[in-house]
Amino acid sequence: MTAAVYAARKKSCALLISQDLGGQPNWTTGIENYMGYQFIEGPELMQKFEKQVKQFPLDVKIGQGVSSLSQIGQGFEVKTDGGESYQAKAVIIATGKHPRPLNVPGEEKLRGKGVTYCAICDGPLFADMKVAVIGGGNSALEAASDMVKIASHTYLISLTPLTGDQVLIDNLKNADNLTLFLEQEVLEITGENFVEGIRIRDLKSGQEKELEVGGVFVEIGLTPNSGFMKGVATLNHLGEIEVNCANETGVPGLFAAGDVTNVPEKQIVVAAGEGAKAALQAYRYLQRLSQ
């Protein structure tokens, strides 16, 4: 959205295409480190961004994701999930990340039926039930910390020893309704219409076990939304688009910004700043093209 505003202010003919406006901050409750706001909830901040975007004469297409990006001639063609196609001399990719799925049987079938990727959103729905939280990092530890106050019992299942901050690990030490399963892999999420259980295997002994749970919170990190442009620009081993400090991808006219790139810090204020930089670079690129 920041890139769109900067492009509009440079009087570029710009089109903003997105599945939704806001992305990851829409799933965040409390933000205390976006300057100008001591505390603001993610959706509210994104609404303010959206209002600012709408003040400019920009074309905005929301509700459709981009299915492919390809180079044509000296420019690019972007196709959307809805089958629409757009051509441009320059493109800025700022598609962010999405929660990494487990990719185990039962996960897709039971998504929204006990399998969830947002403990903040859905946690309270599992009051007095047994739940599993998958992951060993900060997100999983925070989800477990929330769930021990809500669920009757919480199983924290991690492929590795816990990797999160010690203070979060310590917070869980006194929970008497928490069981840790470390160095265990998830084999399957079971259930007919809703989640009923989860099957896990101990990586050391090979022993399998089925736990009866009503909810599974998948908190194993985030994946860049870069799949649609494979082969066009270089991705690193994490699937992030590699950019230099001018947000250039190495493909003339193709820029990228924010969490989808290899920028080391994934923060809202950083992503917004990167979007501004990318838009200004794109403007300079278009100026050089027209000379």
For the annotated catalytic residues, the residue numbers are: 118, 121-122
Q: Does 136 bind another protein (CB under 8 A)?
A: no
**How far apart are CB 61 and another protein at their closest, in Å?**
12
Pick the piece of the chain touching another protein (CB under 8 A) from 6-14, 26-34, 86-94, 171-179.
26-34
Shorter beta-carbon distance to another protein: residue 21 or 104: 21
CA distance 208 to 96: 36
Shorter beta-carbon distance to another protein: residue 88 or 110: 110
Owner of token pair 């278009």:
286
How many CA atoms are closer than 13 Å to the CA of 278, on its beta-carbon side? Answer: 30
Of the candidates 282, 274, 221, 280, which has an alpha carbon nearest to the alpha carbon of residue 95? Answer: 274
Applying CB under 8 A, which of residues 125, 238, 269, 289 lies at the interface with another protein? 125
Instruction: Assign 231 to helix, strand or coil.
Output: coil
Q: Does 56 bind another protein (CB under 8 A)?
A: no
CA distance 225 to 240: 8
**Interface residues for another protein in 64-123 (CB under 8 A)?**
112-114, 116, 120-123
Q: Does 124 bind another protein (CB under 8 A)?
A: yes
Of the candidates 245, 278, 220, 244, which has an alpha carbon nearest to the alpha carbon of residue 97? Answer: 220
**Interface residues for another protein in 184-243 (CB under 8 A)?**
193-194, 215
How many CA atoms are closer than 13 Å to the CA of 153, on its beta-carbon side? Answer: 9
Applying CB under 8 A, which of residues 54, 63, 81, 284 lies at the interface with another protein? 63
Shorter beta-carbon distance to another protein: residue 116 or 158: 116
**How far apart are CB 220 and another protein at their closest, in Å?**
19
Instruction: Assign 80 to helix, strand or coil.
Output: strand
Instruction: Assign 173 to helix, strand or coil.
Output: coil
In the beta sheet, which residues pair with residue 85?
79
Owner of token pair 């998830």:
186
Shorter beta-carbon distance to another protein: residue 47 or 223: 47
Applying CB under 8 A, which of residues 29, 52, 160, 179 lies at the interface with another protein? 29
Applying CB under 8 A, the site for another protein has a residue count of 23
Applying CB under 8 A, which of residues 10, 41, 60, 75 lies at the interface with another protein? 41
Shorter beta-carbon distance to another protein: residue 98 or 201: 98
Shorter beta-carbon distance to another protein: residue 41 or 77: 41
Do 141 and 168 meet the contact criterion of CB atoms below 8 Å apart? yes
Applying CB under 8 A, which of residues 12, 19, 26, 71 lies at the interface with another protein? 26
Owner of token pair 């442009």:
229
Query: DSSP H helical segments within the chain, as ranges?
Result: 2-9, 42-53, 119-122, 138-147, 166-172, 268-290
Residues that bind another protein (CB under 8 A): 26-29, 41-43, 47, 63, 112-114, 116, 120-125, 127, 193-194, 215
